[in-house]
Structure 1
Amino acid sequence: MFFRWLKRYMPRSLYARAALILAVPMIVVLLAVSVAFLQRHLEDVTKQMTLTVIRELQLIASVAERAETQQEFIARARPLLGALQIRVRFVDADRVPAEDRRSRVDYTGHVVIETLHESLPATRAVVLENTREATIYVTTGLGPVELLFDRRRLSPAAPHQLIVTMLFFAVLMTWISFLYMRNQLRPIMRLAAAADAFGHGNAVPYTPSGATEVRVAGHAFLDMRNRIERQIEQRTLMLSGVSHDMRTPLTRMRLTLAMMDEDEAAPLLQDVDEMQGLLDAFLDFARNASEGVPERVDPVALVTQAVADAQRAGHAVELVDSEGEGEMMLRPLDIRRAVENLIGNAVRYGNRAEVSLALTPRFLRIRVEDDGPGIPADQRTEAVKPFSRLDPARNQNRGSGVGLGLAIVADTARAHGGALRLGESGRLGGLCADIVIGR
């Protein structure tokens, strides 16, 4: 459950994930080392140094404890003050601070203050605002005493320097690692971009580079792309020849039937028209949604025009909803052919069709719904395969085909980096076909 929740917030790109893998351990190590250093090493050393100073202060107090005046106290303690490098003077009670004070950047000041109050109960206030000098106010029988000595005797000097140095080198090494990682990931990203462009029908220039494994994958991709391009070229040439060779006899047959008796020629003309339609369907599928060059078009205007053309052709279709506006990179002829195929299927197997469109910053969705019998859920995967005919489910009496309509639409959607989704229409009760393309 935790990993599923965490997966939603993980970055998707390889570079971001690699950066996260590099940065998280570095941050964890820095935090762990910093906490361990501050809590164990630095605080323990500070406490030991503070206890040493407390013992010196107790020695001074024991020597001068029998003094009856402040001058006598100073005189008795003077031999020790020079050796211990401590300055002592009596102050008025109103000059004693009401509370302890320390600098905000003093990482060990709280340890010094706590230790002094615990081990030297006579301590009234501790002032550590000066980084070079510490001041302690102690209560005696002769009045408050101010003790001044070097701040470095209570804790290590400038403990933050170690942390700053550690952070500096951590940032420096992380930056160097990022540069190296970016250079290593760049060939993979170039390979991914070339593969993605080829999947959308664009052959961009690509030269394998990078590590040995990436070069092997790059050469394999180039070999695969060359084989596919040769096959597409050979198939296109073959189908172009077939189209020319078959259209010529079909035209001769149509001319011959036109000179025959109308009643006798009508069934044969219908067969010729059906053969012409099947030939056009084969050629549309053979193009594999790869005609034309992607260009920036307005999908709303494109779909609106396709619906208007279908209405002029006598089809019961209407555009019921259109959300969003803008332009995106599409092959207009291929998208138009796909929409026309969906509308044709909808009015062939149903009485009417409704088209809706949604254009968001993330995706384009073109939806065609009809009131026909629909396609059962367990047959929808089979329905988009080439030459698949589900006429018993789609009411064969309303029309016929070669089973390429949905296959052409699916290929068009895939060529644009999208997909064709089939479902049940909640509005009309028939088939709901969605062309979804990411932006």
Structure 2
Amino acid sequence: MSADWLKPYMPRSLYARAALILVLPVVVVLLVVGIAFLQKHLEDVTEQMTRAASREVLLVVGVMEGAETQQEALAAARTDMQSLSMTASFLGINEEPMIGQRRWYDFIAPRVEADLRALLPDIEGVALPSGQEARLYINTDLGLLQLKFDRRRLSPAAPHQLIVTMVFFAVVMTTISFLYMRNQLRPITRLAEAAQAFGRGRVVPYSPGGAIEVRAAGSAFLDMRARIERQMEQRTMMLSGVSHDLRTPLTRLKLGLSMLPEDEAAPLKQDVDEMQLLLDSFLEFSQGTTEGSPETVEPIALIEQIVKDACRAGHVVALVSVEGEGTIALRPTAMRRAVENLIGNAVRYGERADISLSITPKSMRIRVEDDGPGIPPEQRSEAIKPFSRLDPARNQNRGSGVGLGLAIVSDIARAHGGVLRLSKSERLGGLCADIIIGR
């Protein structure tokens, strides 16, 4: 049987789930022990004690039978009542029984009253107040008889003490367990924070701690982080080195082509320019996710500045909407490069670019829309791969590239712990590119 129906009701955090695993058995044990104690012990003992007290009451009432006056009845039963530690009196004609209020935690009183009414048919009322005294009101031929005796003869004294003791020590031990559990979960929380920060492009100090399994996971994370950093550094150095080393022969080619006739050198110069563009794209791709350190910035000010710079460059760019406010940890240079790449693609394949910014307590979304031909849904996942060119879909006549623009944006979004999503613009009809980053 599947337990998927239970998932929406389960807590999401590890601490809450551990607390549930800890508290639930304690509650179940308390309930089981409490119910078993009440049913198997208290009720049986109470029934026996109530039956014995009822026989004593019947003895006293039986002795009073045959008396002609109330005083004679009380005198006849005086010796028996002294032996049974009871006191008796008759209520007046207009006098009502004093039942009083029971203690709210006296959960055995209803059972005592039920047993007494079953064993004493002539009983009129049962008073089990908060004191130690019990009062029974019994109808007789001479009037309403009031009998007083010790409440402890009807049920065990303070039967709630066991439950109170159980609950008290359960709370104490659960509190101690919670404190210990928090110390055990703290290393897991530190590991999660370090992994989350690294996923967003930040390296925070972390040292493994806690149980053996948690230490093993922490050590594996540190090894993985070191390997990823080495791979990123090697990729950056390789691409930067290749781009740098090829600039010198390209410069010599340009110098040599400048000495040739224009009609002969023009096609070769075009090839050299394309190679130069390719090298610049390689260098930009290698530096895209590592340029700058994370800083706490105001996204609104950053986007407004990017829009102003794009407008000064002659592009039709507008900031159409801003929702929310606040700061977020970003690499400003890398994020600027990502937004500028999206704007460049938008104005290359369309006429205009509209930018919107949305900030919520959990995430930030930068949206760039254009009025170009867009990208078909089946090609959007391919479009963000490096060196992928979808010129037939994006109108090759409007511009050219090496297929790294969206790849750079996707890399920068992932370096910030976010994602790049492509869709169709509902406003302009072209491409809609969203950079979504968690806060």
TM above 0.5, yes or no, is yes
Identical-pair percentage = 66
Counterparts of 2:418 and 2:370, CA distance in 1: 22
What is the identity, as a one-letter code, of the residue corresponding to 1:414?
A: R
SS in 2 for 1:102: coil
Q: Tell me the equivalent position of 1:170.
A: 170
Partners of 1:207 and 1:124 in 2: CA distance = 76
RMSD, aligned CA? 2.5
Mapping of residues 401-412 of structure 1, within 5 Å: 401-412=401-412
1:332 alignment counterpart:
332
Deviation digits for residues 325-365 of structure 1, max 9, x if unmatched?
22111111111111111111112222222111111112101
The farther-off stretch of 81-90 and 239-248 is 239-248
1:87 corresponding residue in structure 2 = 87
The letter of the residue matching 1:128 is: L
Structure 2 counterpart SS, 1:436: strand
Alignment of 1:255-274 (within 5 A): 268-274=268-274
Rate the CA distance shift 1:323–1:255 in 2: closer, same or farther, 3 A. Answer: farther
Letter in 1 for 2:11: P
> Hey, what's the Cα distance between the residues in 1 that align with 2:380 and 2:33?
58
1:54 aligns with 54
| Counterpart-to-counterpart distance in 2, 1:258 and 1:211 | 70
Q: Using the alignment, how far apart are the partners of 2:139 and 2:318 within structure 1? A: 96
| 1:107 aligned residue | 107
Q: Could you tell which deviates more after superposition, 33-42 or 174-183?
A: 33-42
Name the counterpart of 1:381: 381
1:286-365 alignment, distance < 5 Å:
286-365=286-365
Contact 2:99 / 2:128 at 8 angstroms: preserved in 1? no
Partner Cα separation in structure 2 for residue 35 and residue 161 of structure 1: 14
User: Within 1, Cα distance between the matches of 2:22 and 2:318?
Assistant: 55
Q: CA deviation at 1:305?
A: 1.4
Give the partner amino acid of 1:122: D
Q: Secondary structure at 1:94's aligned position in 2?
A: coil
Question: Which aligned pairs between 1:18-417 and structure 2 lie closer than 5 A?
Answer: 18-39=18-39, 41-97=41-97, 101-254=101-254, 268-417=268-417
CA apart distance, 1:281: 1.7
Q: What is the deviation of 1:64?
A: 1.7
Secondary structure of the equivalent of 2:131? coil
- Render the CA deviation track for 1:56-106: whole Å, top value 9, x for unaligned: 111211122111112221222123212221111223243333756422232
Closer, same or farther in 2 for the Cα pair 1:129/1:30, shift >3 Å? Answer: same
User: Matches of 1:82 and 1:424 in 2, distance apart?
Assistant: 98
Q: 1:287 to 1:211 in 2, by over 3 A?
A: same
Structure 1 Cα separation of the partners of residues 257 and 300 of structure 2 = 43
The 1-side partners of 2:392 and 2:15 are apart by 51
Deviation at 1:6, TM superposition (A): 4.7
> What is the alpha-carbon distance in structure 2 between the residues aligned to residue 11 and residue 284 of structure 1?
44
User: Is residue 100–residue 125 contact of structure 1 (8 Å, CA) maintained in 2?
Assistant: no
Shift of 1:115: 2.6
Residues 93 and 405 of structure 1, relative CA distance in 2, 3 Å threshold: farther
Offset of residue 151 of structure 1:
0.8
Q: Secondary structure at the match of 2:437?
A: strand
| Change in CA separation of 1:232 and 1:393 when aligned onto 2, cut-off 3 Å | same
Counterpart amino acid of residue 181 in structure 1 = M
Deviation by residue 1:6-37 (Cα, 9 ceiling, x = unmatched) = 53453332222211222223223323433443
Give the paired residue count. 439
Letter of the aligned partner of 2:330 in structure 1?
L
The answer on whether the counterparts of 1:100 and 1:113 sit within 8 Å (CA) in structure 2 is: no
**Cα offset for 1:297?**
0.8
Q: Do 1:348 and 1:399's aligned partners in 2 also have CA atoms closer than 8 Å? A: yes
Deviation, 1:170, is 1.0
Q: C-alpha distance in 1, partners of 2:287/2:34?
A: 64
Matched residue SS, 1:144? strand
1: CA distance, partners of 2:209 / 2:24: 29
Aligned residue for 2:77, secondary structure, equals helix
CA contact (8 A) 2:355 2:368 kept: yes
For the 8 Å contact 1:291–1:334, the answer to whether it is kept is yes
Query: Does the CA contact (< 8 Å) of 2:310 and 2:317 recur in 1?
Result: yes
Structure-1 separation of matches of 2:346 and 2:3: 44
CA distance in 1, matches of 2:290, 2:428: 33
Cα shift at 1:3: 5.7
- Between 383-392 and 98-107, the greater mean CA deviation after superposition: 98-107
Note the C-alpha offset of 1:299: 0.6
Residue segments in structure 1 that go unaligned for 5+ positions in a row: none
Query: Normalised by the size of structure 1, how large is the TM-score?
Result: 0.92
